[in-house]
C-alpha cells in the first residue's frame, strides 16, 4: 500500500508529532510519503522520520495564490498512484482534484473546526471523542474516533522518591506553544502569584515552548516578581522533553480549548502527576479525574488551590502507575497507526 500524508506546515506541535510517529510506524510495512505544502518547516523534526519515508517540500509561501504548487501536488499524486491520501488540515481538500475524493481521508486534530470541505473526504477521523462530539455539534459531521498516541518506549519514567530527598522545591512543567488565547499559560502564572501571596514560595515552574505570547508572559512574571520561580526554556525537541519530564513533580495543562492533550499523555507516560483544566480533550485523557487532577478552566484561584493540595499530599506511586497503564493501553502510537491501516484497507 502507498500512503501519502498531506500537511501544510511541519512546525513543532501535537499534529506534527503525531504525524511523525504514525508515519514511522506505517513505514515498517508500507510505502509512506509526506508532502509539506508551505515553506514552514522545523528541520530537526524531520530528522525523527525513518529514512524510508520520502519527504517532499513544495515550499509554497503561506497564503500564496499561486497555482504552481497546486499543479505540482496533482502531478505528484497522479505519478505515484497513492492508495490513501491522508490529510491533516481540513482545507487541504481545496488543493485536491475531485477525482481524489475516494482516496482522501481527513484527521481533525482539534475542536472548533467548521469547514466547507468536509464533504470532499471519503472519511473523517477525530483524534478523540471530544473532537468527534464537537464536529457533530458544530458542523453536523459524523467522524470515526482514532485516539492519538505516543511512543512510550522513548519516554524516561520517574522513580518514586520523597521530594525532600531530592530537592526542597516543587517542580512544575508546562509544555506547549506559548499562546495564552488557547493554552492559558497566564492562568498558571496568576496561580503562582496567589500561591506566593499565601506563603507557598517553594515552587518552580518551567515553560517549554515558544510563541507569540512570550513577551506578555515575561511581563507578568516581572510584574509579580516571580523571576526566581519561573523560567522560560524556549523550544526543546522531543528527545529533551522525553528525557526531562521525569524530573518534575507535576505537569499542568491550563488550556482553554484542546482537542486531545498530547502533553498530558506524555506526563502520564513519564509517571508524573498531571493537572488539567476541565475541558473535554484533557478530561477524556485522564478519564474525567480517575487518572489525574483537574480544575475549573480559567479559574486561577481553583488552580492555586489544586496545586497547593497536590504539594501537601504524599506522592502516590500506585496512582501514577495506574495512570501509566491506562495511557499505555489507550494512547500508544502503535495502536493508532494500526487502527488507521485497518480503517483504510
Distance, in Å, from the CA atom of 330 to the CA atom of 291, rounded to the nearest integer, reads 13
Q: pLDDT band for position 164 (50/70/90)?
A: very low
Q: Taking the CA of residue 290 as centre, how many other CA atoms within 13 Å lie in the half-sphere pointing to its CB?
A: 10
pLDDT tens digits along 14-41 = 899 999 999 999 999 999 999 999 999 9
- The secondary element (H helix, E strand) that includes residue 37 is strand 31-38
pLDDT above 90: percentage of residues in the chain = 87
pLDDT above 70: percentage of residues in the chain = 98
What residue spans define the domains of the chain? Answer: 2-146, 152-330
Average predicted confidence (pLDDT) for the chain: 94
The pLDDT value recorded for residue 14 is 84
pLDDT tens digits along 82-98 = 999 999 999 999 999 99
In the predicted model, is pLDDT for residue 137 greater than 90?
Answer: yes
Q: Tell me if 2-146 shares its fold with 152-330.
A: yes
Q: When comparing pLDDT for 190 and 259, which is higher?
A: 190
Q: Checking phi first, is residue 63 left (phi over 0); if not, alpha (psi -120 to 50) or beta?
A: left
In the predicted model, is pLDDT for residue 287 greater than 60?
Answer: yes
Q: Measuring CA to CA, how many Å separate 97 from each of 102, 103, 112, 120, 250?
A: 11, 11, 26, 10, 48
In the predicted model, is pLDDT for residue 343 greater than 90?
Answer: no
CB atoms within 10 A of CB 31: 16
The pLDDT value recorded for residue 314 is 73
- Mean pLDDT, residues 138-143: 94
Start-to-end Cα distance in the chain: 9
Residue with cell 468536509: 118
In the predicted model, is pLDDT for residue 165 greater than 60?
Answer: no
Identify the CATH assignment for 2-146 out of 3.40.50.12280, 3.40.50.20, 3.40.50.2000, 3.40.50.800.
3.40.50.2000
- Mean pLDDT, residues 116-133: 95
Q: pLDDT band for position 273 (50/70/90)?
A: very high
Q: Taking the CA of residue 250 as centre, how many other CA atoms within 13 Å lie in the half-sphere pointing to its CB?
A: 28
Q: pLDDT band for position 13 (50/70/90)?
A: confident
Does the domain formed by 152-330 have CATH 3.40.50.2000?
A: yes
- The secondary element (H helix, E strand) that includes residue 276 is strand 274-277
The pLDDT value recorded for residue 185 is 99
Amino acid at each position: 500500500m502507498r500512503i501519502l500524508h498531506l500537511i501544510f506546515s511541519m512546525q513543532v506541535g501535537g499534529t506534527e508529532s503525531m504525524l511523525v510517529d504514525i508515519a514511522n510506524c506505517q513505514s515498517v510495512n508500507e510505502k509512506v510519503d509526506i508532502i509539506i505544502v508551505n515553506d514552514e518547516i522545523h528541520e530537526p523534526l524531520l530528522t525523527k522520520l525513518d529514512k524510508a519515508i520520502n519527504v517532499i517540500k513544495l515550499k509554497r509561501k503561506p497564503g500564496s495564490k499561486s497555482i504552481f504548487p497546486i499543479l505540482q501536488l496533482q502531478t505528484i499524486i497522479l505519478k505515484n498512484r497513492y492508495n490513501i491520501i491522508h490529510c491533516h488540515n481540513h482545507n487541504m481538500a481545496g488543493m485536491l482534484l475531485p477525482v481524489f475524493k475516494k482516496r482522501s481521508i481527513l484527521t481533525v486534530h482539534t475542536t472548533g473546526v467548521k469547514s466547507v470541505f468536509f464533504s470532499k473526504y471519503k472519511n473523517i477521523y477525530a483524534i478523540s471523542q471530544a473532537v468527534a462530539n464537537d464536529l457533530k455539534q458544530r458542523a453536523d459531521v459524523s467522524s470515526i474516533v482514532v485516539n492519538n498516541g505516543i511512543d512510550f518506549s522513548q519516554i524516561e519514567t520517574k522513580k518514586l522518591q520523597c521530594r525532600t530527598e531530592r530537592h526542597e522545591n516543587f517542580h512544575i512543567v508546562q509544555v506547549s506553544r506559548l499562546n495564552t488565547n488557547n493554552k492559558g499559560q497566564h492562568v498558571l502564572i496568576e496561580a503562582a502569584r496567589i500561591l506566593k501571596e499565601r506563603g507557598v514560595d517553594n515552587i518552580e515552574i518551567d515553560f517549554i515552548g515558544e510563541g507569540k505570547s512570550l513577551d506578555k508572559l515575561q511581563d507578568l512574571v516581572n510584574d509579580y516578581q516571580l523571576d526566581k520561580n519561573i523560567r522560560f526554556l524556549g523550544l526543546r525537541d522531543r528527545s529533551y522533553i522525553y528525557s526531562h519530564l521525569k524530573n518534575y513533580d507535576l505537569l499542568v495543562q491550563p488550556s482553554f480549548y484542546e482537542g486531545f492533550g498530547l502533553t498530558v499523555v506524555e506526563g502520564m507516560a513519564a509517571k508524573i502527576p498531571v493537572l488539567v483544566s476541565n475541558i473535554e480533550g484533557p478530561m477524556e485523557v485522564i478519564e474525567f479525574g480517575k487518572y489525574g487532577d483537574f480544575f475549573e478552566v480559567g479559574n486561577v484561584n481553583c488552580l492555586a488551590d489544586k496545586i497547593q493540595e497536590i504539594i501537601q499530599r504524599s506522592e502516590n506511586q500506585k496512582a501514577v502507575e495506574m495512570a501509566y497503564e491506562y495511557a499505555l493501553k489507550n494512547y500508544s502510537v502503535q495502536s493508532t497507526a494500526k487502527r488507521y491501516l485497518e480503517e483504510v484497507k
